[in-house]
């Protein structure tokens, strides 16, 4: 039996974009330390929206969010969430904005109050851990899609989050980099929710599976069942 509080508890969350139908419909979810959750669901089912709700980028019109047992509602409450939850955006360009890779990765630690040299050390260490130490002086916007994704992951990991939200992190990665990502995620003692359409990738790093459908989550779906239900002949996976 565990006595520690869940990292996050969402209860009866409902959300719609203005003028559109319901995207999340009374959705509830609890994330505990050590959880490695895979999240699947058709395109447009609201997976990214759920991540944005958790980060306070969107506000639900009903329901509650608790972070380590405390309700989070106001932008000020969400400051605590940002310190411990890292979101890897579906589009890496939404995450990267500094001229060079090292500056981008050092930005988060600096923002958390680290000194310039500490932030630099953390950034270098994080890039090294991802096998991309040699990227540090590269110009961020000139990187390839896969390279940007790894750098975006470095910007998130450099803030030493307790919970990671990974929105389709394997998109645009070649097999070698994907293997690095699997290895890193298995090595880190982190809790995470991972959105992916790639069943092989998912099965190597997720312990529990949820399916998003009709604005709600169903637990314990089988990855392969899902991918067979939604075949895409244009893709290898």
Ligand X SMILES: Nc1ncnc2c1ncn2[C@@H]1O[C@H](COP(=O)(O)OP(=O)(O)O)[C@@H](O)[C@H]1O
Which residues are at the interface with ligand X (CB under 6 A)? 17, 20, 23, 41, 43-49
Nearest partner of 42 among 190, 192, 208, 197, judged by Cα: 197
The answer for residues whose C-beta is within 8 angstroms of residue 33's C-beta and 6 or more apart is 4, 7, 162, 191
Question: 45, 48, 95, 155: which one contacts Mg ion (CB under 5 A)?
Answer: 48
Site for Mg ion contains 196 (CB under 5 A): no
Q: From the CB of 70, what's the least distance to ligand X, in Å?
A: 26
Q: Out of ligand X, Mg ion, none, which partner does residue 8 contact, by CB within 5 to 8 A per kind? A: none
Q: Are 60 and 12 in contact (CB under 8 A)?
A: no
Q: From the CB of 230, what's the least distance to ligand X, in Å?
A: 12
Binding mask 62-91 for Mg ion (x = CB under 5 A): ----------------------------x-
Q: From the CB of 116, what's the least distance to Mg ion, in Å?
A: 35
Site for Mg ion contains 199 (CB under 5 A): no
Residue closer to ligand X by CB (options 95, 158) is: 95
Nearest partner of 13 among 30, 27, 33, 34, judged by Cα: 27
Sign of CA dihedral 171, 176, 179, 183: negative
Residue closer to Mg ion by CB (options 50, 190) is: 50
Q: In degrees to the nearest 10, what's the CA dihedral of 71, 77, 81, 87?
A: 110
Instruction: Please give the Cα distance from 123 to 37 (Å, whole number).
Output: 27
The residues that touch Mg ion, with contacts defined as CB under 5 A, are: 47-48, 90
């Amino acid at each position: 039996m565990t006595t520690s509080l869940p990292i996050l508890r969402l209860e009866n969350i409902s959300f719609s974009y203005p003028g559109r139908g319901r995207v999340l419909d009374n959705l509830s979810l609890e994330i505990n330390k050590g959880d490695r959750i895979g999240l699947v669901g058709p395109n447009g089912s609201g997976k990214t929206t759920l991540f944005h709700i958790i980060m306070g980028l969107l506000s639900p019109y009903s329901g509650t969010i608790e972070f380590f047992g405390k309700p989070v509602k106001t932008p000020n409450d969400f400051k605590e969430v940002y310190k411990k939850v890292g979101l890897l955006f579906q589009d890496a360009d939404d995450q990267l904005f500094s001229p060079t890779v090292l500056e981008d990765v050092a930005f988060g630690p600096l923002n958390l109050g680290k000194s310039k040299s500490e932030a630099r050390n953390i950034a270098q260490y994080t890039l090294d851990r991802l096998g991309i130490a040699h990227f540090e002086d590269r110009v961020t916007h000139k990187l390839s899609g896969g390279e940007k994704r790894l750098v975006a992951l470095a910007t998130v990991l450099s803030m030493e989050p307790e919970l990671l939200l990974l929105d389709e992190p394997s998109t645009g990665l070649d097999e070698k980099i994907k293997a690095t990502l699997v290895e890193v995620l298995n090595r880190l003692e982190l809790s995470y929710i991972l959105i992916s359409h790639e069943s092989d990738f998912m099965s190597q790093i997720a312990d529990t599976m949820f399916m998003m459908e009709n604005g709600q989550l169903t637990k314990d779906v089988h990855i392969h069942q899902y991918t067979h239900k939604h075949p895409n002949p244009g893709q290898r996976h």
